[in-house]
Structure formats: structure tokens, C-alpha cells
Structure 1
Amino acid sequence: MSARRALAGLTLAISAGLLAGCTTELPQPQPEAAPETPPPALDSARLEDILSEIDATLAEADEARDAELLGPRIISPAQDMRAAEYRLARATDGDFSPQPIVTAPQVAAVAAAEGWPRPAMVVTEIPEGENLPLLLGLTQQNPRDPYSLWGWVTLFPGIEVPPMARPETGSAAVPPDAEGLVATPEEVVARYAQTLNDNDSEHADAFADDPYKDTSRSTTQELDDAIEAAGSASVEAEVADDGPLSLATADGGAIVLGELRSTLTMSRTVPESELTAGGNIAALLDDDEVVGTVSGVSDVTVAFYVPPAGAEDETIRPIGATSVLTEVNRDDEAAPE
């Protein structure tokens, strides 16, 4: 073996030994631990931007009385109700005005959720010319949709909205069939409709009294008394297609925003009698004479506080409502013989 080849072999052996002796472990990434609860879907600044965009959309559509301008920031049922208010404004030559809606928040809560839909709720400042604040329900239906106004209610006088987590913390999203409450959100809306239809409903005692229910009953009774010489009046409520929209409260309960359809029907039951419709119902009719039946259909959004199961007081409290006449139907074939 030549001296050069021997030297080369020695050099290779020494180099290999040095590499083996100096081997160190490469640094490994240390990811942050996943949070126990999902982060809030929105921060305060983003929520403020969304509310400003909803406000601008409403202002433009309200000025033009054009429901086509509401989307995509105003969705059903809010979109249907606002469109109905525009129709009433036109039909009454401006005697009816859409309800003022403001978005300036007093209190806001957003969902802490990984999936969709992602709700948010806002208690607003009091609109100009009004006496009570609104509760707005917002939602992002899927990742490609913007946050939109889903519905609104006027809060009842003297109501205290249960505390919800602030946007920095986030509140749990509550699905329609969520357990852990005295009733699931969808059960709450369905049972409330039953109590509107039947004073003696098996669920009547589950709900606190509220101004919307009292007004609906008294107005129907007064109308029935007023037209008894010619016919009768009745009202029936049912659960509508949208919702409910729900967000957890700090005590483990939930704010539930649901939609109902309420139908007020005037029936002429006395042959050869005369009966006419009045108010906004008459404004949407070509002829206000009631030949058989005339029915006014209203979309109603109602907000509830639903306590957690096992709470000391398990009474469900309606906290606000808004009703808008959306359509009028007539059936002349139902005339008395």
C-alpha cells in the first residue's frame, strides 16, 4: 500500500470518528397546546366593522324601500320582515314606517366555536324616537358567507338580559337540539307557540308572562267582540322555517331567538251581514270587504332566556319580540250560506 493511500484511509477514518463523536439531536418544533375551548370567532374590532356594514346596508335599502338591496348582510327572517315593512310603507302611502334599527352596541357576545353556523348577539343603544333597545341576532352560516343580521326584537320594558361573555372571551354556540337546558331551543319555540294558541297548554306554566302574549290575546279578543254581529276573529301561531339562533349565557343558560308565524283570521259567519277589514290588513287588500275569511299573516321573532337544567328557577322568560304583517289572504268561498 502506498503512503498516500494509507494517509487517505487514515484521514477518512478520523473524519468519520469526529462526525460520530459530534452528532447532536436536531431541534424539534414545540407547538402550542390546543386551547381547551375554541377562541371567539370575532374580536371587538371585526364585530364593530360588521355592525357598521349592516347599518350601511339597512340605511341604503331603507332610503330606497328596496328589499333587493338587503342581501347578503340581511338574511331571513330579518330580510323577509324588512321587505314586508317596505310593502306596508308603500301600501299606506308612508303612514306606516319601518321600525328603526340601530347597530350601536351596549353589550355584545360572539360564539366561541370551531364549526358553523357561528352566532353573535348584540343589545343595542335605544333607536332615535324609541323607548327600548333592540336585541340583534347575527350569524355566519358557513365559512364563505359574511356575518349577517338574522333577526331582531325590541326588548320588553324592565327586562335585564342575562350576562353573556364578552367578545374577547366568546360564548358557546348552542345548537337547536342542545341538551343541558330546561328545554332545547327548538322545544322552547314550539312550546311557546302552543301557549299562544291555548291558555291551558301543558307548557303554559313553563313560561313567564310577557307583553307580546298579553297583547296578542287582548287584541284578538277585542276584535272578536267588535265584529260579533257579523262574524268572529281568531289567531293561531306556528313555528316558522328559520332558526332558532342561540348563544350561551354566563350561568350555563342560553338566549334563544326564534321565529313564529302568527295568523289572525276574520270570518264572516252571519249571512247577509257586512264585515270589513281595517288597518294594515286592509291596506294590503284590493277590496277590504270580508266575504268569507280574511287572514293576516305576521312573521314574529321572539327572544327567550332559557335557564340551565337544574336551575333554582326553571321558568323560561320571553325577553323581547317583534311582529311584522307579511301577507294577507282571503277566501271568499268560505262565505256563510
Structure 2
Amino acid sequence: MRRITHRRAVAGGAVVVALLAGCSPAELPQPDPDPVAETPAPVLDASRTERILQEIADDIAAGDEAQDVEAMSSRVIGPARDIRQAEYRLAEATDGDAAAGPLTTEPQVEAVAATAEFPRTAMVITQVPEGANLPLLMALTQGSARQQFALWGWVELFPGTETPALVHPDTGSAQVPNDATGLAAAPAEVVDRYAEALTDPEGEAADLFAEDPFATSVREGVTGLDDAVEAGGEATLGAEAGDDGPVALATADGGAIVMGEITTATTIRKTVAGATVTAGGALGRLLGEDAEVRGTVTGTSLVLLAFYVPPADAEDQTIRALGANTVLSEVTRDDAAAPAEEPEG
């Protein structure tokens, strides 16, 4: 990636031309300087970034104390807010067995966009939160000049993940639009295709991505659930891209880090009339006292994922997932989908 420098032009004063009496005005020579390319400055400096991160931390602390995102101000938005609220609901439904995960905004590495346009993005790799084992990657966004930077989403980095080099915040990183060219895939396409690959690991979309712990865990979980209910039912997995984002920032090699949301749906379907199928675990806890599956029970999870997308001219075009964040947000049932009873005789 080109190193971007910030130039600042300063107008230093005014030129006054006096015409002497009795002299005819002469045509003055006009300056014809070489055009100077303007390069946008980084959208945040160190002190502003520090203040924003502290205010985000204060918002998270207020929400955690109340177990409700309504206690937060506007420093936590979008998928981050939705996921935290889902974590609070799950904690309540499980009597604290599934508590909201620990968060910190204490930074290790920071990167900010260099742009004059909106929306704007910044990313932070944090220290390891207290009570956790792995650092977080956080994405901050500013939607317009009237809005303030806020936490849009975060993921926990996978064990052993090597994050690509980010551009130093003093220089600023290129803001990457969702339909950007010059990458192995545009950011919006990355999220759509990953959702396809998650549900069809043998399909064409799966060839774009390296294997990752999240995809492996989800597929194995659904396979195990299917095995558990096979006497009277089946379990299936669906996934689709979310409505918000993605957000992306250029890396030092001309690639990009992309953070996007998907939703996954794990459905248990009763297939054998007369069989007894029961939803267990968090699915059953969110169903309440009646965890029996008569037709279908579907657990919907909110998922945030971060990816490294190589530049289009990279020798290796494989997209790597860097980390994930997921929470079961809703469980619904459809008793009308029960299998028909076979007629007697």
C-alpha cells in the first residue's frame, strides 16, 4: 500500500496592488503553480481515540451493571448493541450460567481511516480482557458528521491467529467501501459467500475460505444435535448475511480487514409422529418450562465475524476468518409443523 502523507496548505496573507496616478494599469502576471494532490488526514488522533475508547468502556460498564443496553448512551450501536442485549437475555434465562462475555477497550494496536467522507471506520486490537484468554478486535464507526464514533462490533480473535499488519494511525488507513474492487472479494460479497459456505461446506463458496474454528464448531454442533434426535427428528443449519454493514479498513499490504454480521438458524424438526423430541441446552432454557419439540424449534444466533481479505494481485487469494462473536438471540417454535399421525389399521 502507498504510504500516505498529510500536507497542509496555509494562506499567509494578502497582496495589495496600488496604481499610481497618471499610470495606466498593466496586466498582472497570474501565478500558475503545479497542482498539489490533497490527501485526507486520519479521522482520529491519539487523544481522541483514547477518549472514545474510554467512553465506550463506560457505556459497556453501565449496560453490564443494569443488564440492559438501555442504560448505555450512543457509544455502542448496531450489531454490538444487539449482541450485548441478547447476551443479557440469555444470562437471565439461564440464571447466569451463560453470562455476557468480558470486554475491554484497552488497546494494543489501533488503525483509523484517512478519509474526508462518511461513514468512517477505526479498528482496535485490544488487550486480553480480564477473565478471558484471547484479545478482541473491535470495529468503530462514525456514520455522519452529526454522529459520534461508536462501537459497531467486536470479535474474539481465534487462538494462534496472525493478524495482518495495519497502517499506523498517524498515517491513516484507506477506507474500504462495501463494493470495493482490488480485493480477492468485495466486503459485501465476503459476508454473503461465507454464509453460503457455512451451510454448504462442499459448495463453490467454500473454496474462497480457509477452515476456521467457528465454522468447524457450528457444523459439528448441528451434526451432534442431529445424531441426538435421529430417532424422532432431525437438525439442520441455515445462515444468511445480516442487514447491517459490513465495515472494512485497508491493511498495509493492500488487502482489508472486513467485519460483518450473519445470522444462523439451527432448526430441530420432529419427523416421526408419536416420538418424543426435546430441545436441550440453551435452546431448551430459552423455550421455558415446555421444551418439547412437536413440530419445529428454531434457535437464531447473531454472529459477527472478522476476515482478512487479500489484495486481488496476491499469490494466495484465500480469505481467512480472524475471529468470531456469537450469541443465541431467539428461540421460536411451530407446533403446526408436527408430522401427521399415521391412520390406524
> Normalising by the residue count of structure 1, what TM-score does the alignment of the two structures yield?
0.90
Letter in 1 for 2:321: P
Superposition pairs of residues 1-337 of structure 1, within 5 angstroms: 36-286=38-288, 287-337=290-340
* Deviation by residue 1:273-327 (Cα, 9 ceiling, x = unmatched): 1111112212221321111100000010010000000101111111111111111
Q: What is the RMSD of the two structures over their aligned residues, measured on CA atoms? A: 2.3
Q: Quick one: distance in 1 between partners of 2:140 and 2:302?
A: 18
Q: Shift of residue 203 of structure 1?
A: 2.0
What count of residue pairs does the alignment treat as equivalent? Answer: 321
8 Å Cα contact 1:70-1:79 kept in structure 2: no
Counterpart contact for 1:230–1:270, Cα < 8 Å: yes
User: What's the secondary structure of 2:111's corresponding residue?
Assistant: strand
Q: Deviations over 1:83-110 (max 9, x none)?
A: 0111111111222210111100100100
What secondary structure sits across from 1:99 in the alignment?
coil
Tell me, yes or no, if the aligned pair for 1:140 and 1:148 is still in contact at 8 Å.
yes
Residue 20 to residue 163, structure 1, CA distance change in 2 (3 Å): farther
Residues 39-88 of structure 1: per-residue CA shift (max 9 Å, x gap): 00000110010000000000011011012123411111111110011111
Whole-angstrom distance in 2 between the partners of 1:193 and 1:89: 27
What is the distance in 2 between the residues matched to 1:311 and 1:201? Answer: 23
Could you tell me how far apart the structure 2 residues matched to 1:123 and 1:30 are?
47
Change in Cα spacing, 1:24 to 1:188, as seen in structure 2 (3 Å) is same
Which of these two proteins has the greater Rg computed from alpha carbons? Answer: 1
Cα deviation code 1:195-254 (max 9, x no counterpart): 111112112121111000110111110110111011011111101101100000010000
Quick check: 1:67–1:83 contact (8 Å CA) kept in 2?
A: yes
After the TM superposition, list the runs of 4 or more consecutive aligned residues in structure 1 that deviate by more than 4 angstroms.
16-21, 23-26, 28-31
1:19 Cα deviation after fit: 5.2
Q: Identify which range, 69-78 or 96-105, moves more after superposition.
A: 69-78
Partner deviation per Cα, 1:165-194 (whole Å, 9 max, x = no partner): 121110001010000001100111111111
Answer whether contact 1:73 1:146 (CA < 8 A) is retained.
Answer: yes
Secondary structure of the residue that 2:78 maps to in structure 1? coil
1:162: how far off? Answer: 0.5
5+ residue gaps, structure 2, are: 1-17, 341-345
Q: CA 1:157–1:142 in structure 2 vs 1: closer, same or farther (change >3 Å)?
A: same
Q: Deviations over 1:100-121 (max 9, x none)?
A: 1110010010000111000000
**TM-score, with structure 2 as normaliser:** 0.88
Of Structure 1 and Structure 2, which has the larger fraction of its residues in helix?
Answer: 1
Q: What is the aligned-residue identity percentage?
A: 56
